[in-house]
Structure 1
Amino acid sequence: MSHSNELTVAQRADFRTIAAMIVPESAEYKVPGADDPAIQADMLATLGRDTAPVAQALDHLARLAGRPLAELDAARRDAVAKEFRASGGTAAATLVRVVLQCYYRDDRVLRSLGLEPRAPFPKGHVLPEGDWSLLDPVRARGGSLRGVSR
């Protein structure tokens, strides 16, 4: 699905760089950084309505950096990131939230935290077998659930 509200190549590159600054790779905990290809793919695929504020944040970041973030040396990059956090407002906050949200649903990251990777509802979290009382509110409002009997 290609539409105009996708990030540009330059924005994606800066997104990858800032993501790695937010969550760097850790050899000690054997976890990837937030710039990991799989995590980046998840971020880009699930941006949805956050695309506009994230693009806005990346444009602001680009103005502060004056060139692709990856081309700056570490000290300059840190200075830009600090300025970005201070002046980026809600757009910057949205970018950080998106990075963390996607990072902490990566299987490798969950395992490193001692959590069981699970699919999002409804696949991953199993309801107790035969607990039809969960359907009472649906029944009460006259929902048509054919073939469900007590």
Structure 2
Amino acid sequence: MSIVETRATAESGLTPAQRDDLRVIAATMIPASAEYGVPGADDPAIQADILATLGRDTMRVREALDRIARLAGSPLAALDPIRRDAVAKEFRASGGVAAATLVRVVLQCYYRDDRVLRSLGLEQRPPFPKGHALEQGDWSLLEPVKAKPPMWRRAP
């Protein structure tokens, strides 16, 4: 293992095989689209963002990737596309919290990529300090929630 691979593994908390499987499962979730001019979630910049921002989700993502590898019987990246899709479907059906975490991590990094934002017609900037305009909705929908008794105890 090279120094760069060792550093990336240490920083992300994932093994090289797990990083390869993450790349493959991300591409399965969101493939590149020439029609819309957007990269897939396996794009190197998006993958780097995922690895750099795993943080508190590292344990759940590792758990999801380990489950995928067990379902595949080998690293997912080593399988043919048809078998990969079958494993992805099986994982999606039985993945639980770890699967939800993996999906959230991939989606949040994908949808903050400048190229993806540009394709959606969104300004490429952080949401603050300018904020984003939000359509006003039907505030009466909150009345049942407001009517509930408090779910906490008062501090002394």
Common fold, TM-score beyond 0.5?
yes
Deviation at 1:63, TM superposition (A): 0.3
Would the aligned equivalents of 2:12 and 2:54 in 1 still touch at CA under 8 Å? Answer: no
Report the CA distance shift for 1:82/1:49 in structure 2 as closer, same or farther (over 3 A). Answer: same
Equivalent position of 2:114 in the other structure: 107
Q: Paired residue for 1:90, among 63, 74, 97? A: 97
Following superposition of structure 1 onto structure 2, how do residues 51-66 of structure 1 map, counting pairs within 5 Å? 51-66=58-73
Aligned partner letter, 1:116: E
Deviation at 1:68, TM superposition (A): 1.8
Query: Paired residues, what number?
Result: 124
Aligned partner letter, 2:79: L
Superposition misfits of 4+ residues, deviation over 4 angstroms? 1-5
- Sequence identity (%): 75
How far apart, in 1, do the equivalents of 2:78 and 2:12 lie?
Answer: 26
Structure 2 alignment gaps of length 5 or more: 1-6, 132-156
Equivalent position of 1:69 in the other structure: 76
Would the aligned equivalents of 2:68 and 2:87 in 1 still touch at CA under 8 Å? Answer: yes
Q: Structure 1 length normalisation: TM-score?
A: 0.77
Would the aligned equivalents of 1:30 and 1:112 in 2 still touch at CA under 8 Å? Answer: yes
Structure 1 alignment gaps of length 5 or more: 127-150
Equivalent position of 1:37 in the other structure: 44
Aligned partner letter, 1:51: T
Q: Paired residue for 2:19, among 12, 19, 26? A: 12
How far apart, in 1, do the equivalents of 2:11 and 2:111 lie?
Answer: 28
How far apart, in 1, do the equivalents of 2:127 and 2:46 lie?
Answer: 16
Q: Structure 2 length normalisation: TM-score?
A: 0.74
3-state SS of paired residue (2:35): coil
**Structure possessing the higher radius of gyration over alpha carbons:** 1
